[in-house]
Amino acid sequence: MLKLFLPSEHVQSIFDIDPDKLKEKGVKGVITDLDNTLVEWDRPTATPELIIWFDKLRAHGILVTIVSNNNEKRVRAFSDPLQIPFIHQARKPMARAFHKARKTMGLKLEETVVVGDQLLTDVLGGNRGGFHTILVVPVAQTDEFRTRINRYFERKIMAFFKRKGMIEWEEHN
pLDDT in tens, 18-55: 999 999 999 999 999 999 999 998 898 999 999 999 99
The DSSP symbol for 143 reads: -
**Main-chain dihedrals φ then ψ at residue 115, nearest 5 degrees:** -120, 135
Question: For residues 98 and 126, is the Cβ–Cβ distance under 8 A?
Answer: yes
pLDDT recorded at residue 173: 43
Residue range of the domain that includes 144: 2-163
The residue type at 67: V
Average pLDDT of 76-94? 97
Residue 12 lies in a domain: yes
Element counts in the chain: helices (H) and strands (E): 6, 6
With cut-offs at 50, 70 and 90, classify the pLDDT of residue 142: low
Residue 171 lies in a domain: no
Residue 154 lies in a domain: yes
Residue 51 lies in a domain: yes
The neighbour count for residue 88, using CB atoms within 10 Å, is 18
- Asked if pLDDT for residue 148 goes beyond 90, the answer is no
Residue 28 lies in a domain: yes
Average pLDDT of 139-159? 76
CATH number for 84: 3.40.50.1000
Residue 79 lies in a domain: yes
Number of separate domains in the chain: 1
Sheet-wide strand order for 63-67: 9-11, 132-136, 112-116, 29-32, 63-67, 86-87
The residues pairing with 87 across neighbouring beta strands, listed in sequence order, are 67
Indicate the length of the chain as a whole number: 173
The residues pairing with 91 across neighbouring beta strands, listed in sequence order, are none
Whether residue 44 has a cis bond before it, omega within 30° of 0:
no
Residue 49 lies in a domain: yes
Residue 169 lies in a domain: no
Quote the pTM value: 0.89
